[in-house]
Amino acid sequence: MLPVHAASYASLYDHFQWVIPERYNIGVDVAQRWAENDVDRPALIHVHRSGHAETYTFGQIHSQSNQLAHALYAQGVQPGDRVAVLLPQAPETALTHVAAFKAGCISIPLFTLFGPDALFFRLHDSQARCVVTNLEGAARLRELRSRLPDLKVIFTIDGHAHDTIDLHAAMKACSTAFTAVDTGSNDPAVIIYTSGTTGNPKGALHAHRVLLGHLPGVEMSHGLLPHLDDRFWTPADWAWIGGLFDVLMPAWHHGIPVVAHRFQKFDPEAAFQLMQDYQVRNTFLPPTALKMLRTVQAPETRWNYRLRSVASGGESLGSELLDWGRKVFGLTINEFYGQTECNMIVSACDPLVPARPGAIGRPAPGHRVCVLDDLGQPVPVGQHGAIAVRSPDPVMFLGYWNNPRGTADKYQGDWLLTGDTGYQDTDGYIHFVGRNDDVITSAGYRIGPGEIEDCLLQHPAVRMVAVIGGPDPQRTEVVVAVVVLHDPDAAGDALKHELQQYVKTRLAAHEYPRELYFVEELPMTTTGKIVRRELRARLEQWRAQGS
């Protein structure tokens, strides 16, 4: 959607115009279109746990997703029904989403590590009619099924049990020819449940146009697409918008092959090996993955990977990780910003939009991003406020599934409120300060956790860190740092004082952590975000213990 070569950011942003057709179907776009023009073009390289790799062409993705769409219809699934996908990165995961789109259904990606309560909530809330999973997933659904009256059929990809249908056998009996439903670009296509750290998840309902809406931000974060020999991989699960619509679907829109492999537990050394062995050129690495990769000694001397672009988003990276990325990857990591409801709206694009420590980039072409005050008015440059996106916008969700009040609360007039605080500098860069409930108010100062975390990460003893605000009768809140060390045996009062002074001398006296606690690990959401709410809940106990 953006030109592959551009002279400047202004030439991209100022001249951009959306081209959103009235009739549009994601499945037709990412599979049928390529199968009709380049049937043998590689689409997916599936790397099994055994190390064996299998390549699927766009022709195979098209024909097999057609068979799967027929199999859905044969079991009574109809256009508009919800089809859940409870699988890791695998060919069947991609095929099910594409088939659901072609069939006019609404797909629901589900994370394989969800417990029974998380699965029940999503399947019950969405009234899912069908789940595509494996025998392990089917066993976990068995205890829930009596409480899910809308769930009529479970397909399994690795054989069948007494209450499931063998997906591959069902597909084999179906024709490879299928006429996709003539969907409108505004017709519902997918429900992605937020991973939020407070309250029940909300089902963000997106239209088929959501893929087109993603493209400018995705293209910016990967130095513009496509280039010769581009090949994508991400450790992010396809159950999340970051894996499904920041990598898989945009890559296939551009005819770029995707490597499918997700480690049961992320292994940074194996990740470097994978990127070398499968000639990965483009990768989306969440901040947590980058921090884990950073623990590997001198990877640039041990592996011969040749990355063209590295994108990251979800939390602010800071100067330390950016500098490490330049050393290890030989390029600048492009940081991007968005959320499930309205994704990929801000990005860096080195060298057109050079990374700037503390900033998350500039608005991607086609998106109007602004910082607002409490009355919904734009604030002056440099002033903190609410990061918001102007509607209408193709990447913006249709609303929360079965939650009109939640949808209404997300907007202030024509602006969608991200729930994040930030500011815009004189060059148009958006700076992320924190979630509205993450901003620390201390002695009249509003302090974002990102800068302090970045500073502490530069200390050689620190492996990971999270910063929160702790209630304080005098200052309203004090800065509290929760630290994971490379060597847990180094924990003690001497190191605690050293780290406090480290921040005080490198940032500012009012930003140093007055309280600092050492822990073995940080609580994370399934998408790799720090659950600061849980840390706040633990704080009272830590204070009582004096640890």
Residue given tokens 């999340």 in the structure block: 240
**Sequence-distant contacts of 509-513: CB under 8 A, at least 24 apart:** 510/442, 510/443, 510/445, 510/447, 511/445, 511/447, 511/451, 511/452, 511/479, 512/452, 512/479, 513/452, 513/467, 513/478, 513/479, 513/480, 513/481
* Domain contains 74: no
Mark the ranges of the chain whose per-residue pLDDT is less than 70: 195-199, 444, 446, 526-527, 547
Residues 6+ apart with CB under 8 A from 247: 232, 233, 234, 236, 238, 258, 284
Q: Could you tell me which of 543, 468, 464, 460 has the C-alpha nearest to residue 502? A: 460
Prediction pTM value = 0.87
Residues 6+ apart with CB under 8 A from 217: 336, 338, 343, 344, 345, 346, 347, 364, 367, 395
Side-chain half-sphere CA neighbours of 468 within 13 A = 22
Give the tens place of pLDDT for each residue, 472-488.
887 888 999 999 999 99
- Given this model, what pLDDT does residue 498 score? 97
Residues 6+ apart with CB under 8 A from 375: none
Helix H or strand E segment including 482: strand 476-485
Beta-strand ranges (E) seen in 90-149 are 106-110, 130-133
Q: Does residue 241 sit in helix, strand or coil?
A: helix
- Given this model, what pLDDT does residue 197 score? 43
Structural domain total, the chain: 1
* Domain contains 506: yes
Q: Which two tokens stand for residue 441?
A: 């108010």
Residue given tokens 């809406």 in the structure block: 213
Give residue 506's domain range: 437-545
Q: Say how many Å lie between the first and final Cα of the chain, rounded.
A: 54
* Domain contains 317: no
Q: What is the CATH number of the domain that holds 504?
A: 3.30.300.30
Number of other residues whose CB lies within 10 A of the CB of residue 179: 8
| Contact of 250 with 243, CB cutoff 8 Å | no
* Domain contains 465: yes
| Contact of 99 with 72, CB cutoff 8 Å | yes
* Domain contains 325: no
- Given this model, what pLDDT does residue 547 score? 59
Beta-strand ranges (E) seen in 147-187 are 153-156, 165-166
- Given this model, what pLDDT does residue 394 score? 98
Q: What are phi and psi of 117, to 5 degrees?
A: -65, -40
Beta sheet of 362-363, edge-to-edge order: 53-57, 42-47, 258-260, 232-233, 282-284, 309-313, 334-339, 342-347, 362-363
Q: Which two tokens stand for residue 399?
A: 């609303």
Q: Does residue 122 sit in helix, strand or coil?
A: helix
Cα gap 265→341, rounded to integer Å: 28
Q: What are phi and psi of 484, to 5 degrees?
A: -105, 125
* Domain contains 505: yes
Q: Are strands 369-372 and 385-390 parallel, antiparallel or unpaired?
A: antiparallel
Residue given tokens 């990809």 in the structure block: 157
Residues composing the chain:
547
88: amino acid identity, one letter: P
- For 60-78, give one letter per residue: b (16+ CB within 10 A) or e: bbbbbbbbbbbbbbeeebe
- Given this model, what pLDDT does residue 473 score? 82
- Given this model, what pLDDT does residue 198 score? 47
125: amino acid identity, one letter: D
Q: Are strands 440-442 and 385-390 parallel, antiparallel or unpaired?
A: unpaired
223: amino acid identity, one letter: G
* Domain contains 492: yes
* Domain contains 496: yes
Q: Could you tell me which of 343, 362, 346 has the C-alpha nearest to residue 354? A: 362
